[in-house]
Amino acid sequence: MKRFASIVSIGAYAPPKILTNADLEKMVDTSDEWILKRTGIRERRIAADNEAASDLGVCAAKIALERANRRIEDIDLIILASLSGDFHSMPSTACVLAGKLGAKNTPAFDLLAACSGFIYALSAAKAYIESGMAESVLLVGAEAASRFIDYSDRSTCVLFGDGAGACVLAATDDPKKAVIDVEIASNGKKWDFLTIDGGSRSTIQSGGAPYIKMKGHETFKIAVRIISASAAAICKKNGVTSEEIDHFIPHQANERIIRAVGTALGIGEERIVLTVDRYGNTSAASIPMAINHIYEEKRLKTGDLMLLDAFGGGLTWGSALARFAG
Ligand code: ACO
């Protein structure tokens, strides 16, 4: 009998501190009108001074574990996707989170694929479960991206926010509860579109700044085409028509990108999940936060078919088709 991975719960956490467009108007030469028109963002959340990515991740993970009726002892792998981990590279944020959750000897690792991190991590979790290497996986997307923002750079500081989302995946033999397919891809020739210095290529000592830098317009120009093609391909491969998709839940970078992809795929507005207005771009956390948003609004039902997609630094991108089994 074929083994499938199943998303059995979802949880999310957004820190309470709000940074509005009006606040940003006082910090850089920008306007609420520009931000709203170009990105769809009204406000974003900012982690408290004593909160790092793992702290936000722990809050989301606890909710996901409780909703899955599982204790941390029941989890045999933890994967954490982030571009704003607690430490530069060591220890992994997954290990810090595992420690805070009380995990004992559970393997835990970070996965870096920028804003595509959740989809990349989902593909890894799916492979672990389908191969029999794991029965249940805790998958967390957690970002304290504000720590890597230059609040004098108007081209990036209006975009990003903090938050975390988490889900528990478990093995099942029921295809109606399955993560049906995940497709991931990259184009390393365009690595310089989105960067954060401070590694061996450009250390802080050699003048590298630990801030998110983005060739925003260049990224924008290719994002719609690449994500639309990726999402259309995964649907075609699995014989899924756009009418069958209950919820289109894309990475929340820019409302214009999301709407353009929705139109290209023929998915009606009522099935497109948008949270970018309230959270901004929370990178690897944005998709699980958006899933949690419709779960808490009681719009997400057991068995609903979700189409997920993301695009981000690397460049990386990917799509997933998954039934919700929570
Ligand atoms: N307020 C006012 N004006 C601004 C601001 C601002 N906050 N930021 C830029 N501008 C100006 C620019 O200086 C430029 O002025 P100019 O015409 O005088 O030179 C003008 O606005 C237009 O700038 P563009 O960058 O061309 O604006 P664009 O319409 O492309 O919107 C944005 C910018 C929102 C960043 C968009 O390009 C975008 O969303 N890009 C894709 C982001 C994305 O998907 N990233 C991948 C995921 S993120 C990750 O992986 C970490």
Tokens of 34: 């520009």
What number of residues does the chain have? 326
Q: Residue 284's pLDDT is what?
A: 98
- DSSP single-letter state for residue 19: E
Is residue 251 part of the annotated active site? The answer reads: yes
Among 24, 32, 116, 155, say which to mutate for ligand 1: greatest number of ligand atoms within 8 Å of CB.
155
- Torsion, CA 241, CA 242, CA 246, CA 247, rounded to 10: 130
Per the structure, the complete domain to which residue 138 belongs is given by 1-326
CA 243 to chain CA centroid, nearest Å: 24
Q: What is the pLDDT of residues 245-289, one digit of tens each?
A: 999 999 999 999 999 999 999 999 999 999 999 999 999 999 999
Catalytic position from the list 115, 157, 167, 235:
115
* Ligand 1 within 6 A of CB of 82: no
In this structure, the number of other CB atoms found within 10 A of the CB of residue 51 comes to 18
Q: Residue 325's pLDDT is what?
A: 97
Q: Residue 1's pLDDT is what?
A: 82
Q: Residue 304's pLDDT is what?
A: 98
CA 210 → CA 70, 164, 195, 205, 282, distances in Å?
38, 21, 9, 11, 17
Residue 103 alpha carbon to ligand 1 centre in Å? 42
Query: Strands (DSSP E) along the chain, which ranges?
Result: 4-13, 18-20, 43-45, 77-81, 108-111, 136-143, 163-172, 179-186, 194-196, 212-214, 247-250, 305-312, 316-323
Q: Find out whether the peptide bond into 91 is cis, omega within 30 degrees of 0.
A: yes
Catalytic position from the list 21, 254, 281, 292:
281
Residue with structure tokens 């450009």? 202
The backbone torsions φ and ψ at residue 158, rounded to the nearest 5 degrees and listed phi first, read: -80, -15
CA 31 to chain CA centroid, nearest Å: 27
Tokens of 160: 């990003």
With cut-offs at 50, 70 and 90, classify the pLDDT of residue 100.
very high
Q: What CATH number is associated with residue 186?
A: 3.40.47.10
What lies within 8 Å, CB to CB, of 49 at 6+ separation is: none
- Torsion, CA 188, CA 190, CA 196, CA 199, rounded to 10: 40
* Ligand 1 within 6 A of CB of 114: yes
Residue 209: pLDDT over 90: no
- Cα maximum dimension of the chain: 60
Q: What is the mean pLDDT of residues 6-30?
A: 98
CA 50 → CA 20, 37, 47, 141, distances in Å?
21, 33, 8, 19
* Ligand 1 within 6 A of CB of 220: yes
* Residue having the nearest C-alpha atom to atom 31 of ligand 1: 38
Report helix, strand or coil for 98.
helix
| Pairwise CA distance, residues 122 & 288, whole Å | 11
Domain count, the chain: 1
Residue 195: pLDDT over 90: yes
Average pLDDT, the chain: 97
- Is residue 251 within 8 Å of residue 211, measured between CB atoms? no
Q: Find out whether the peptide bond into 274 is cis, omega within 30 degrees of 0.
A: no
Residue 206: pLDDT over 90: no
Residue 222 alpha carbon to ligand 1 centre in Å? 14
Q: Residue 205's pLDDT is what?
A: 86
Q: What is the mean pLDDT of residues 175-200?
A: 96
Is residue 115 part of the annotated active site? The answer reads: yes
Q: What is the pLDDT of residues 131-146, one digit of tens each?
A: 999 999 999 999 999 9
Is residue 293 part of the annotated active site? The answer reads: no
| Pairwise CA distance, residues 76 & 72, whole Å | 9
The atom of ligand 1 lying closest to the CA of 251 is 47
